[in-house]
A and B are shown apart, each in its own frame.
Chain A
Amino acid sequence: MGNNTQSMNISLKVWRQKDRLDKGHMEDYKMDNVSPDMSFLELIDVLNERLVREGKDPIAFDHDCREGICGMCSLMINGQAHGPEALTTTCQLHMRKFKNGDTIVVEPFRARAFPVLKDLMVDRSAFDEIIAAGGYVNVSTGNPQDANALPISKENADLSMDAAACVGCAACVASCKNASAMLFVSAKVSQLALLPQGAVEADERVQSMVEKMDELGFGNCTNERECEASCPKGIDISNIARMNRDFLKSSISAKK
């Protein structure tokens, strides 16, 4: 319910693009009687249902859990990845964070490595390719030693968890002027390097993941910190520093 029960009028400017090859354009939609308690994605749901009733093509956008954990929702909202609220995914952004009469510009996450599939939906499978290049511990299912056989300091376990909280939404890439994936890659590199199980392959991992990241067309880091500011999970850029250090170290000591 909240205290703000006044309904709102909102103007939307939404990126429409039929498919990968279409040039795309902005389209205007007026939304009346918007409940401040709606989530931003529910606003698009309502608009889409209206479009279907009018026989028009609804707006395609990625979303799934709507609890801020699956990382599937995206959107540049007024030029900000996931909109104006800090530490919030688009699905958890509510209309009460806007004002009656606002015009909101909605665009897809843009990067060379993320082609637009339709409207606001982009292909982020490049992230899967980076993980496949080394974002794991090489252990098969079977009978590893007891879970408590290797103590891990609470500090490292907590730092590892901080990095592991990444949801892979790619807001970091979308908000970086270089479309760099350094925050995403460094979060996985750090999570594993901080644990004894992952430390064994840390050198090879950082090399192969960075190599894959470069190959896929992501840009370099120039310390803008936009990634950190837009990250809905608060992933710290100290992870990038850790990755750079590990990368340098492993470049010197590399066996191949």
Chain B
Amino acid sequence: MTIKKLNGNVPEGAIHEKWEKHKFNMKLVNPANKRKFNVIVVGTGLAGASAAASLAELGYNVQSFCIQDSPRRAHSIAAQGGINAAKNYPNDGDSPWRLFYDTVKGGDYRAREANVYRLAEVANNIIDQCVAQGVPFARDYGGYLSNRSFGGAQVSRTFYARGQTGQQLLLGAYSAMMKEVNKGKIKLYARREMLDLVLVNNKARGIITRNVVTGEIERYAADAVLLCTGGYGNVYFLSTNAMASNCSAAWRAHKRGAYFANPCYTQIHPTCIPVHGDHQSKLTLMSESLRNDGRVWVPKDKDDKRAPNEIPEDDRDYYLERKYPSFGNLVPRDVASRNAKQAVDDGKGVGPTSVAVYLDFRDAIKRDGKDTIAAKYGNLFDMYERITDDDPYQVPMRIYPAVHYTMGGLWVDYNLQSNIPGLFVLGEANFSDHGANRLGASALMQGLADGYFVAPYTLGNYFVTDKPEQEKVTIDSPEFEKAHKESREKLDKLLSINGSKTTDDFHRELGQIMWEYVGMARNEEGLKKGISEIKALREQFWKDLKVTGDNNNINTELEKANRVADFLELGELMARDALERRESCGGHFRDESQTEENEALRDDENFSHVAAWEFQGVDAEPLRHIEELQFENVALTQRSYK
């Protein structure tokens, strides 16, 4: 197999000058000509809404698509903690350079330096923009913006709006977008699901969607397509993602030729509310700040079934404090998650399902008083009690890790353009900025940086350089005809199998395979087993699926089946990527590659690269291309938390 070495198209020059120079070197579309260009934006989360608004303001004609009933519902809305920016308002030594450095290191040296630097550079601008839109960030008594520290950073650089920062930033971007809807510069298409990407002469020129209210399959043509469709965590069935979050837009683009980069990089968040039963539909995350005061433990004896408060001190194993005396309960997310899994695998899990560990505030309440703990964590304690009916002031919380974010995604170059000309990918849907692990409060920053401050520049350059508009493409062209027909056939096929198992049956089963073999810790044997089990499940899916109803009405079962069909393919690629990456880094932990202290051990010599996979057919082996990563500004080091 020939392996391509991909070029990230990173501009020349010192890292702090690259973006500035690149902005100058990029070509501009004459203001009067912008109205001649049509742009499709799929998704209305932070990346999609900010891009749609900014492009419409520049004068482009934007068509915006979302799966929900309103653009305001995209899952960015659920982000709690905050958004990073190196404003250095607290005068604690922050700078774009430090934010850049922390992000590259936090990503375990698997991100592209130049992209991360640009992100750190434009972050300040995001805060200015959001304040101008009327985002009600937290303020102190002098009326100035308040900051807090987050995710282990040594500076206070996180801006927040109570525990609803994602909501407020998204509503800001949504309102900016609705302003352009009102002017007629954005045409809004809600309750649409993207079924396919349409290429004409190897350029992205449109999409096929399904109107989920009427069932109608629709065609839309444009001069460029922006995918802002989020991550693929729902491949695990249970995750903290929203119910409709899915991989289909990105995956269908992949099947049309777009490379999928680092699919094995998933982030599993340690402090989530555990699964309570078979009927569980999703998982809920609680801020990891809880670990500042809570102590994690399990009973020493796996047969100890006493209620937690009846288990005396000597019979408890505070395993994080024992194994990591200097960091204790504050080890990074991946380490905390893996150790919880270890405790459960050893049979020491707690609660009715035995798949949980305790997070105990007893000592903190004794030390600081209930009021102090309530002031810090009151809203989280309330949320926990609402869901579990347990009072965490009285009995320890039960927690367990859950899939939360995916760092992998479609491969893009420095301009956020995929290997398909005219296909741009923004936000969580691309792979570019977080390497193998994302830091807290960085997802919001990246989504808005891509949409407000990167794509609006790079898209114009594409239009001037590639001149897609010179080639007239209409929705009647044969390429649209073909993609439409294939989409229709796929849906018809799903409806016609008429087997015995529901979509959720298959999805649950896939989730179990993924969690078992492509979850928190992976090894060669398990990954190989996982790949063969996914293949077998996929085969069974196409033989024994049951979908009721038809395609001419609201049919949520059909929507789900169509997504799970893609998850069944993506899951296999994730396992393959994890198998080929024979090192541990960030959220990807290979049992075979760990330090004596059981920490992730990178192999910089062989794996300091991005793996970008090229689709070759559903049952064919994909090609693994690589993009070498150059670290000229940050020194690579090994993490240790002992």
List residues of A whose CB falls within 8 A of some B CB: 1-5, 18-19, 35-39, 41-43, 45-46, 49, 51-53, 55-58, 60, 62-67, 69-72, 88, 92, 94, 96, 117-118, 121, 123-125, 127-128, 131-148, 150-154, 157, 160-161, 164-165, 167-168, 191-192, 195, 197-198
Contacts and interface: CB of A to CB of B under 8 A. Distances in A.
Given A94-B389, A164-B168, A57 B143 contact: no
A60 B556 contact: yes
Contact of A58 (B131, B134, B556): B556
B136 A144 contact: no
Contact of A45 (B54, B182, B281): B281
Interface residues of B, number: 83
Given A35-B279, A64-B75, A125 B53 contact: no
A70 B133 contact: no
Contacts of A150: 131
Given A52-B547, A191-B134, 12 more contacts: A1-B276, A1-B388, A1-B389, A39-B281, A64-B73, A94-B386, A143-B125, A147-B145, A157-B136, A160-B134, A161-B161, A164-B136
Interface in B320-357: 351-352
Given A2-B390, A148-B144, A160 B73 contact: no
B138 A157 contact: yes
Given A66-B243, A131-B178, A141 B69 contact: no
The 3 closest A-B pairs by CB, nearest first: A2-B389, A151-B143, A136-B175
Contact of B69 (A36, A72, A157): A72
Given A19-B553, A71-B73, A131-B175, A56 B390 contact: no
A142 B452 CA distance: 8
Contacts of A117: 213, 554
B548 A56 contact: yes
A131 B133 CA distance: 14
Contacts of A160: 134, 136
A132 B178 contact: yes
Contact of B54 (A58, A141, A152): A141
Given A70-B242, A94-B386, A143-B125, A152 B139 contact: yes
B281 A41 contact: yes
A229 to B, nearest CB: 19
Nearest to B54: A141
A36 to B, nearest CB: 8
Contacts of A145: 128, 132
Interface string B269-308: 0000000110111101000000000000000000000000
Contacts of B554: 19, 60, 117-118, 121
A153 B138 CA distance: 11
B77 interface: yes
Contacts of A147: 87, 127-128, 130-131, 137, 145
B276 to A, nearest CB: 5
Contact of B167 (A18, A69, A198): A69
20 contacts: A45-B281, A64-B243, A65-B243, A69-B78, A69-B164, A72-B73, A94-B389, A124-B70, A128-B178, A141-B53, A146-B128, A153-B139, A154-B143, A157-B138, A161-B168, A164-B136, A164-B168, A165-B167, A168-B70, A198-B134
A37 B389 contact: yes
Contact of A138 (B50, B54, B179): B179
B129 interface: yes
Nearest to B126: A147
A142 B174 CA distance: 16
Contact of B279 (A5, A38, A136): A38
Nearest to B453: A141
A161 B159 CA distance: 14
B99 to A, nearest CB: 16
B133 A139 contact: yes
Interface in B65-109: 68-75, 77-78, 87, 89
Nearest to B79: A69
Nearest to B143: A151
B444 to A, nearest CB: 14
B68 A70 contact: yes
Contacts of B171: 164
A12 B128 CA distance: 50
A62 B70 CA distance: 11
B635 interface: no
A170 B72 CA distance: 13
A147 B139 CA distance: 11
Given A64-B73, A118-B553, A153 B167 contact: no
A62 B389 contact: no
A132 B166 CA distance: 21
A120 B141 CA distance: 45
Given A42-B281, A151-B144, A137 B134 contact: yes
Given A128-B188, A131-B175, A195 B134 contact: yes
A160 B137 CA distance: 9
Contact of B284 (A67, A96, A143): A67
B142 interface: yes
A165 B502 contact: no
Interface in B208-267: 213, 242-244
B279 A42 contact: yes
B70 A58 contact: no
A147 B143 CA distance: 11
Given A125-B70, A143-B125, A161-B136, A53 B546 contact: yes
Nearest to A196: B134
Contact of B140 (A5, A53, A88, A154): A154
B502 A49 contact: yes
Contacts of B388: 1-2, 37
Interface in B141-176: 141-145, 161-162, 164, 166-168, 171, 174-176
B390 A195 contact: no
A65 B557 contact: no
B132 A197 contact: yes
Contacts of B547: 52
B504 interface: yes
A135 B175 contact: yes
B378 interface: no
Given A88-B386, A148-B144, A1 B352 contact: yes
A15 B554 CA distance: 16
A165 B77 CA distance: 11
A157 B137 contact: yes
B57 interface: yes
A132 B389 contact: no
Interface in B487-537: 502, 504
A172 B293 CA distance: 39
Contact of A157 (B139, B243, B546): B139
A135 B243 contact: no
Contacts of B456: 141
A94 B390 CA distance: 13
Contacts of A152: 139, 143
B135 to A, nearest CB: 8
A72 B77 CA distance: 11
Given A42-B281, A164-B168, A143 B128 contact: yes
Contacts of A125: 69-70, 190
B387 interface: yes
Contacts of A140: 54, 57
Given A1-B351, A118-B553, A70 B75 contact: yes
A57 B456 CA distance: 44
Contacts of A124: 69-70
A188 B357 CA distance: 42
A148 B548 contact: no
Contacts of A127: 70
Contacts of A132: 178-179, 181-182
B452 A35 contact: no
Interface string B41-68: 0000000001001100100000000001
Contact of B549 (A57, A70, A128, A161): A57
A58 B178 contact: no
Nearest to B174: A131
